[in-house]
């Protein structure tokens, strides 16, 4: 029997990047300690009284909601608000929203939602069947960020916490480096302060690898939807996920190193004066924001019906 590195109990998990074995108790304690560290480092509860948590119903966002609402319950005056975007993906988002709805009503968490139908007049299912050059995700990701920000701003939140884990962040670093887009790396977050109507995004799971989030959610009994979005195969991120897993397999600790290096490096941001979008008023460096441009493009594709 392999033993936990901290006690005589049986090991249930080996963290290859550190060489440490964990029993169930020490594993959950280790995840919670690292999340508390991220909360302190990013001053998640120090910036104001309201923390919005972007929740899809998947393992990452449900774990972030579970941990942040537990931590907030010990801080008087702090409110957690769950925010969910309904992309209109039948058989997937409707099911994951049921998970969020049940969790929030049991925990007494305020839950606000907005759909792509309300935002753009069509669903992702409608857009996915239209003839188009971009992937479904290219529209979906931009709309989601815009709606999340609007929901958090309207709820008076001081920050938006996302469920981004270590792998998500390392993938983004790799993707943006491969495109030479250091400006995007500089904007990735966690954000120190707000910029022109953009609620700062924070990442409590930033130090936790994806497989550890999954294990934590399972051993802690956190409810979540296990299935993936039917359009996930289109995401350009998939290739980077595979590459990153191969790198981590050969070089345990590479994900941590990439994320650390990206946050230490002072990547320059392009100049560009930020103004307001002529259509919706959100911050943008151009005349119209990306969400409004894509919304118009997608609406014409859906309306064309071919
Ligand atoms: Fe949207 Fe793509 Fe994510 Fe599906 S996988 S929810 S289409 S971004």
* Three-state SS annotation for 273-286: CCEECCCCCCEECC
139, 225, 235: residue to mutate for ligand 1 pocket, most atoms within 8 A of CB:
235
Average pLDDT value for residue range 69-88: 96
- Give the CATH number, domain containing residue 132: 3.40.50.620
- Better-predicted residue by pLDDT, 302 or 53: 53
List the one residue out of 269, 282, 270 whose CA is nearest residue 196.
Answer: 282
Taking the centre of ligand 1 as the mean of its atom positions, its distance from the CA of residue 120, in whole angstroms, is 16
Cis (ω within 30 of 0) for the bond into 190? Answer: yes
Both tokens of 172, joined, read 């983004």
**Which pLDDT value is given to residue 272?**
52
- Better-predicted residue by pLDDT, 288 or 236: 288
Cβ 35 vs Cβ 28: under 8 Å: no
Residue 167 pLDDT more than 70?
yes
How many Å apart are CA 271 and CA 290, to the nearest integer?
Answer: 18
How many Å apart are CA 168 and CA 241, to the nearest integer?
Answer: 8
Q: What are phi and psi of 279, to 5 degrees?
A: -90, -50
The percent of residues above 70 in pLDDT, for the chain, comes to 96
Confidence band, pLDDT 50/70/90 cuts, at residue 273: low
Taking the centre of ligand 1 as the mean of its atom positions, its distance from the CA of residue 175, in whole angstroms, is 17
Domain extent, residue 132, equals 27-272
Characterize the bridge pairing of strands 275-276 and 283-284. antiparallel
- Name the closest-CA residue to atom 5, ligand 1: 232
3-state secondary structure of 186: helix
304 located within any domain = no
Q: Please state, in angstroms and as integers, the Cα–Cα distance from residue 274 to each residue in 198, 254, 269, 284, following that order.
A: 12, 35, 12, 5
293 located within any domain = no
156 located within any domain = yes
Q: Is 216 in the pocket of ligand 1 (CB under 6 A)?
A: no
Cβ 134 vs Cβ 228: under 8 Å: no
61 located within any domain = yes
**Which pLDDT value is given to residue 47?**
85
Average pLDDT value for residue range 259-265: 87
From start to end of the chain, where are the E strands? Answer: 13-15, 20-22, 50-54, 79-86, 110-115, 159-161, 201-202, 275-276, 283-284
> Mind listing the pLDDT tens digit for each residue in 101-116?
999 999 999 999 999 9
List the one residue out of 224, 221, 157 whose CA is nearest residue 191.
Answer: 157
Q: Is 13 in the pocket of ligand 1 (CB under 6 A)?
A: no
pTM over the 0.85 mark: yes
Residue 305 pLDDT more than 60?
no
How many Å apart are CA 51 and CA 49, to the nearest integer?
Answer: 7
> Mind listing the pLDDT tens digit for each residue in 198-248?
899 999 999 999 999 999 999 999 999 999 999 998 888 899 999 999 999
Both tokens of 73, joined, read 């319950």
What is the number of other CB atoms lying within 10 angstroms of the CB of residue 125?
A: 18
59 located within any domain = yes
Confidence band, pLDDT 50/70/90 cuts, at residue 269: low
Q: Which residues contact 176 (CB under 8 A, 6 or more apart)?
A: 182, 184, 185, 188
Residue 13 pLDDT more than 90?
yes
306 located within any domain = no
Helix 237-250 vs helix 166-178: crossing angle, to nearest 10: 110
Average pLDDT value for residue range 23-30: 98
Residue 56 pLDDT more than 80?
yes
> Mind listing the pLDDT tens digit for each residue in 80-134?
999 999 999 999 999 999 999 999 999 999 999 999 999 999 999 999 999 888 9
CA-based R_g, the chain, Å? 20
Taking the centre of ligand 1 as the mean of its atom positions, its distance from the CA of residue 18, in whole angstroms, is 33
Number of domains in the chain: 1
299 located within any domain = no
Q: Is 2 in the pocket of ligand 1 (CB under 6 A)?
A: no
168 located within any domain = yes
């Amino acid at each position: 029997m392999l033993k936990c590195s901290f006690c005589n109990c049986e090991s249930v998990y080996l963290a290859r990047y550190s060489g440490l074995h964990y029993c169930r108790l020490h594993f959950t304690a280790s995840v919670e300690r690292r999340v508390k560290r991220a909360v302190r480092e990013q001053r998640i509860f120090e910036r104001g009284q309201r923390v919005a948590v972007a929740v899809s119903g998947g393992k990452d966002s449900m774990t972030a909601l579970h941990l942040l609402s537990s931590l907030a319950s010990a801080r008087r005056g702090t409110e957690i608000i769950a925010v969910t975007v309904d992309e209109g993906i039948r058989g997937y988002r409707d099911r994951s929203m049921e998970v969020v709805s049940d969790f929030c009503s049991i925990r007494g968490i305020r839950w606000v939602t907005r759909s792509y139908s309300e935002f753009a007049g069509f669903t992702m299912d409608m857009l996915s069947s239209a003839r188009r050059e971009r992937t479904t995700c290219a529209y979906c990701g931009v709309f989601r960020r815009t709606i999340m920000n609007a929901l958090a701003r309207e709820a008076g939140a001081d920050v938006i916490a996302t469920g981004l884990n270590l792998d998500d962040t390392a993938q983004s670093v790799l993707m943006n480096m491969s495109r030479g887009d250091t400006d995007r790396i500089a904007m990735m977050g966690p954000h120190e302060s707000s910029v022109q109507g953009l609620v700062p995004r924070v990442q409590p799971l930033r130090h936790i690898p994806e497989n550890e989030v999954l294990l934590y959610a399972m051993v802690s009994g956190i409810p979540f939807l296990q299935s993936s979005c039917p359009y996930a195969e289109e995401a350009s991120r998939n290739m980077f996920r595979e590459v990153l897993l191969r790198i981590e397999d050969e070089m345990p600790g590479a994900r941590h190193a990439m994320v650390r290096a990206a946050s230490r490096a002072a990547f320059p941001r392009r100049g560009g004066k930020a103004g307001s979008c002529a259509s919706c008023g959100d911050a943008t460096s151009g005349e119209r924001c990306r969400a409004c441009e894509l919304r118009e493009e997608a609406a014409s594709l859906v309306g064309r019906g071919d």
